[in-house]
A and B are shown apart, each in its own frame.
Chain A
Amino acid sequence: MALTSSHRADGMSSKYDVLVIGGGNAALCAAIAARRGGASVLVLEGAPKFYRGGNTRHTRNMRCAHDAATEILTGPYTEEEFWEDLLRVTGGQTDEVLARHMIRESKDILNWIVEQGVRWQPSLGGTLSLGRTNSFFLGGGRAMLNALYLTAEQLGVNVAYDAEVTDLVIEDGMFLAARLKRPINGETEIRATSLVAAAGGFEANIEWLKQYWGEAADNFLIRGTPYNRGSILKMLLDKGVQEVGDPTQCHAVAIDARAPKFDGGIITRHDSVVFGIVVNKHAQRFYDEGEDLWPKRYAIWGRLVAAQPDQIAYIIFDSTVVTSFMPTLFPPIAARTVAELAGKLELEPAALENTITEFNAAVRPGTFDHTVLDDCVTEGITPPKTHWARKIETPPYLAYPVRPGITFTYLGTRVTKEARMLMADGKPSGNMFAAGEIMAGNVLGKGYAAGMGMTIGSVFGRIAGREAAKHARN
């Protein structure tokens, strides 16, 4: 494959056909597609090598439409069903043309991604509900990234790590160059014929989150790496690219309060809410713990906790349910009595005792089944617990402290079906494309369903790479 740019002996060129900024699934799919399309490609990953890949590091599956069962998928998942699921989780906040295009393209991604070295496996233990719709990466998201990087490098894509971009030179909707904080092979400015921005959202940028959430954002934990700072997104929006998605919104789940500030990933999550009650720092319940099944309930507890004082809450349960959910990274805090538990959690003992006594008194008899919306309910308390309500009375009493864990943000750049960015004046950019979380808001105005982020990344990454290479060739 002949490279069209002026290549230096060390393999790094100061002018590329396609510059990809970002290093996750979308960026690598774009880089590989562009390279396969005949372009010379440089990937600038802002993180060090170990932390490469942004949120892709922590993913584990992708949702693709398919008309028949496969080796690893238990049954068909039609385009129409995918579309209905997307419509439901977003409440209609989606671009139908773009979304349907993505869903159609996702069918081919199932095979294309395997050709790039990624390997599938059946759904993991404890995720049977996804066995038909979602394909899991063998070894998880980092294994997927390793495969994509290996393929990209074997194809001749150049990759630079710790490559922080400080400025984008854009004129009349045309990308000209990216400026770097640290030089790469002596160059602090990289020019390219096309740009693919695949640099994620701003979930790790606490200052930016504070614009919408105030001081509460200081108590948020970030599930991915500290490198998802949204700096490229900000530059693009500041330079006239049209925005999409609600800037104030982010996807948040309840994660263990003992988790690290950044990059705790999936293993700090808690899905034990339904087996007990959740109280705030005043030992008061604040929401129906039995409202809905996983995964819907999974995604609401992050913002519920974010709305509580000091952004902290405690899942309280007793010893009868310990083996009902997956083992957790952090052990539950245990005590022989409710008062002792309150002491360990630094809650007012009398208040917690009172809350549990009231709750237990309100529990009506029923037949417990955590796999369906069962008939175990409370009566006469507010908020009620409308399913799975059982008395908390068998010591030891146990608790998990939880905080909001921020997964991703919805603000992004508006794009066309070709993944081409639209400028604020409505005109398509001449040479700028976007893929992945940075443009996810086009399809996913709110809500989430497992594996959709990776679908958006791979589908639009591949499209963006292909289109960027096509532009560079012409």
Chain B
Amino acid sequence: MHGTRILNEADRLMTVCNSCRYCEGLCAVFPAMEMRRAFSDGDLNYLANLCHACGACYVDCQFSPPHEFNVNVPKTLAVARAESYAAYAWPQALSGAFTRNGLVISVIAALSMAAFILGFAALNDHSALFGVHTGAGAFYKLMPHNAMAALFSAAFLYAILALGMSLRAFWRDIGTPIGGRAEGGSIFQAIRDAGELRYLHGGGVGCYNEDDKPTDRRKVFHHLTFYGFLLCFAATSVATLYHYLLGREAPYPVWDLPVVLGTLGGIGLIVGPIGLFLAKTRRDPALLDENRYGMDVGFIAMLFLTGLTGMLLLILRGTVAMGPLLALHLGAVFALFITMPYGKFVHGIYRFAALVRYAQERRPAA
């Protein structure tokens, strides 16, 4: 018996699947399963986070419902995965944030954006907030650079700490790799597998949605979102280097690297989340953990909001809207940072770790 009802169900399914093995060519979950004859809580959480939810094993399974064996691996692992997020959350006192995650994320985002608006209004006079500011340092007329840097560094470092502690709990729980050996090559393999979403492919044809016709939509939109996020992160990093190393202050001209990176990333963060949201509505409900709809949509919305406010800020930065938009953008980014350890963002962390573990296990022992 396991710690939770869903892990008991996952164990039952892995026992069924391990006596069948027809799906072993579809993704990483089934080969990893085949390396085990019995499943601990940690094993099941590892498999749950290794699953990319493409849905192929459900469509291909002769025992999926209405068959009495009632095999629904994507849904069961989706629920187990979501429950694992709460189980590994740090500090544990905040794990409750996962239960009504959509609401929690919305409230924090709203509060954060309101705080920046009110803060700007309180600390600046009316003419500054709605004034037209241009040239280097324009943003810092509304919020001093040092204050901005200190606040966001604190939020970012907190997110890194919380995510790191959560990851540590996950890594400890999934135990030692079976068979293989731990070394650097596995990390590079996992970076490749995660970077190309190797296992979000239904065995090569794409994800399964509302019918039997697989598509690659989710993969494409996830790439747009993920690489958009990375480009935005790179834009911020480059800008930080400009500021401290070169003494060049934002805003930068449109041809400059931070703006180019940010623009490309921003487009990704607008188009990607919209596509992911639409793709979500087209999925067969049988495959989904409907209780985590809020968590999924909350995270997609946060990314979209970050991208949208950033792009609007770029377009309208020479107008009176710059002040309020800067407040909204900073509010969105702040909320994104502090909710990262308590929302859907963590899926990337655990899945990456699971891919590292999988790469270790598939590596022939020395």
Contact = CB atoms under 8 A, between A and B. Distances in A.
Interface of A: 50, 57-58, 60, 119, 121-122, 124-126, 136-143, 146, 149-150, 260, 263, 265-267, 323, 326-329
B120 to A, nearest CB: 56
B19 A328 contact: yes
User: 6 tightest A-B contacts by CB?
Assistant: A140-B22, A139-B60, A121-B25, A143-B60, A329-B19, A267-B19
A266 B20 CA distance: 7
B56 interface: yes
A326 B19 contact: yes
A146 B60 contact: yes
B23 interface: yes
A364 B16 CA distance: 37
A60 B60 CA distance: 11
A398 B62 CA distance: 29
Interface in B1-23: 15-16, 18-23
Interface string B21-59: 111111000010010010000000000000000001101
A397 to B, nearest CB: 19
26 contacts: A50-B67, A57-B62, A119-B203, A119-B204, A121-B24, A122-B25, A124-B24, A125-B31, A125-B34, A136-B25, A138-B26, A139-B22, A139-B60, A142-B60, A143-B60, A146-B212, A263-B67, A265-B20, A265-B62, A266-B20, A267-B19, A323-B37, A327-B37, A328-B19, A329-B15, A329-B19
B201 to A, nearest CB: 11
B21 A124 contact: yes
B212 A60 contact: no
A326 B21 CA distance: 10
A323 B23 CA distance: 22
A327 B15 contact: yes
Given A124-B22, A267-B16, 11 more contacts: A60-B22, A121-B24, A125-B24, A125-B34, A138-B203, A139-B60, A139-B203, A140-B20, A140-B22, A260-B68, A323-B37
Contacts of B62: 57-58, 140-142, 263, 265
B63 interface: yes
B26 A139 contact: yes
B26 to A, nearest CB: 6
A265 B21 contact: no
Interface residues of B, number: 29
A288 B205 CA distance: 47
Contacts of B63: 265, 267
Contacts of B204: 119, 138
A321 B21 CA distance: 21
B298 to A, nearest CB: 33
B56 A139 contact: yes
Given A121-B25, A150-B213, A327 B19 contact: yes
Contact of B60 (A125, A140, A260, A329): A140
B184 interface: no
B247 interface: no
A266 B62 CA distance: 10
Interface in B264-288: none
Contact of A125 (B21, B66, B213): B21
Contact of B212 (A57, A138, A150, A267): A150
A126 B21 contact: yes
Contacts of A329: 15-16, 19
A323 B16 CA distance: 17
Nearest to A126: B21
Nearest to A263: B67
A258 to B, nearest CB: 12
B220 interface: no
A143 B21 contact: no
B230 interface: no
A172 to B, nearest CB: 41
Contacts of A141: 22, 62
Contacts of A121: 24-25
B19 A149 contact: no
B128 interface: no
Contact of A139 (B25, B31, B66): B25
Contact of A146 (B23, B26, B59): B59
A126 B22 CA distance: 11
B108 interface: no
Nearest to A323: B37
Nearest to B36: A327
Nearest to B14: A327
A59 to B, nearest CB: 9
A140 B23 contact: yes
Contacts of B212: 146, 149-150
B346 interface: no
A288 to B, nearest CB: 26
A25 B205 CA distance: 21
Contacts of A327: 15, 18-19, 37
B316 to A, nearest CB: 48
B260 interface: no
A212 to B, nearest CB: 28
A260 B57 CA distance: 22
B243 to A, nearest CB: 52
B258 to A, nearest CB: 45
A327 B31 CA distance: 14
B61 interface: yes
Nearest to B66: A50
A143 B66 contact: no
B38 to A, nearest CB: 8
Contacts of A266: 20
Contacts of B22: 60, 124, 137, 139-141, 143
Interface in B61-80: 61-63, 66-68
Contacts of A137: 22
B207 to A, nearest CB: 14
Contacts of A150: 212-213
Nearest to B68: A260
Contacts of A136: 25
A290 to B, nearest CB: 24
